Amino acid sequence: MLRKLLLPLLTLSLVFWTVGCSNNPENLTTTPNDTNLNSDFGGYTATAEKPAFDDPELVTEVSSDVDYADPILNSSDVDSMVADTESGYYHLRIIWGQLRYDSTVNVVTDWTGSLSITRGAEIIRRVIRFEPGQDYILPRTDRKLIEWVSKTTVHNDGIGVDIVVPPIRPIFDTSIVPLVTPEGDTVDNIAVDTVYPDVEPVKVSFETGPYSRTFSLSEISTLDTIVYLDDSNAVAFHGLKLDRRPCPRGFLMGYWGHDENSKGIFKGVWTSRFGRITGFLKGNYGVNDEGRKVFFGKWINRAGNFEGFIKGTYGERANENANMIGMMRSGGWFAGKIYNSNRAEIGALHGKYKSSQWLKGGFFQGRWKTYCEKTTDSTDNSMEKDGF
């Protein structure tokens, strides 16, 4: 875990270069000079930025999230499930440990465990902060089971997994029934009965020593929850149902806290529906003159090009799964909209945060989507109706 904290300077420089080369002028700014929580978009502009907002901490986040070539994809039965257009397709992202770096933690937590499904297949797409030689995926012998070895102290580990569930196929039961014709002849009549097997609902089970939980597929479709344990550890679950022709959607996560001037700020990574980092976001939050808790920010891609404005509201609320200690730590929620360079609404986002007096001590995690059609669904303020 120590090596997770001491990224060599050379590696950091190389990773930063691969985030995306840019011809942006040197004088590009990454935040407004004078953030205005009373304005429409907080003072942010639809201009390009330096890659990762020229922020070494965000560059490090990119290097901690790694593609995984799952050998289970070589299995013909898994390949057929993926190719079947009637199969249900989901993505589940799980993070365990310290959701934000905490240098005071010196106790090792063993998260060795598994993720299993009762029917279908699981495909590992990402491993998150796995330290070579300490954290690893065990050899896969069953498409319905993923096992790992993981230990954390000051930070976290995690995985991003695709879940594929084939449709239930009918059973055709044929029988021969003799019939007597009006002429008195006996003929064989073939009767075909269509019967669907009695199959239990699919369950997905996360099992580790510190915490275990089982989800249904419907829960994974809109999963956005953080569970706080009795110590300082936590487990964050986020899931999506992946339609064959989906609206763009994915996850977002990062830091949420205050700068040296006690101004509320956040920054983090923007990922695709498969958990791959495709961009970055950065912004400010606080109470405006009307007493509303608001946030404003900006979303850019890996090369630094403008993708959208973000703005919304936030508030304190204990996580529904929290115990008494968790209620004290859990922070709250945020919800908002995404806008293009013309200030037209193009999507939505929401999630949970935990604030801190210093930026690295807090975190946020959530989900985003952009609309498929030019018209928005802003009348659906719950953002849950369509599976978001």
Burial of 367 (0-12, 13-18, 19+ CB in 10 A): buried
Looking at the chain, the number of H-run helices and the number of E-run strands are: 6, 23
CB 300, CB 338: distance < 8 Å = no
Residue 119 has pLDDT above 90, yes or no: yes
Spatial separation of the C-alpha atoms in residues 151 and 51, rounded to whole Å: 32
Helix (H, G, I), strand (E, B), or coil: what is residue 56? helix
Residue 118 has pLDDT above 90, yes or no: yes
**Helix %, strand %, coil % for the chain, to 5?**
15, 45, 45
CB 200, CB 294: distance < 8 Å = no
Residue 4 has pLDDT above 50, yes or no: no
Dig out the tokens for 86 from the structure.
Answer: 């009637």
Q: What is the pLDDT of residue 27?
A: 37
Position with higher pLDDT, 29 vs 197:
197
pLDDT tens, residue by residue, 279-315: 999 999 999 999 999 999 999 999 999 999 999 999 9
Dig out the tokens for 328 from the structure.
Answer: 């004290």
Dig out the tokens for 109 from the structure.
Answer: 């937590």
Q: What is the DSSP letter of 347?
A: E
pLDDT tens, residue by residue, 339-360: 999 999 999 999 989 877 666 6
pLDDT tens, residue by residue, 38-60: 888 999 999 999 999 999 989 88
Of 303, 294, 137, 320, nearest in space to 223 by CA: 320
Spatial separation of the C-alpha atoms in residues 303 and 39, rounded to whole Å: 28
pLDDT tens, residue by residue, 20-30: 333 333 334 44
Of 156, 151, 149, nearest in space to 98 by CA: 156
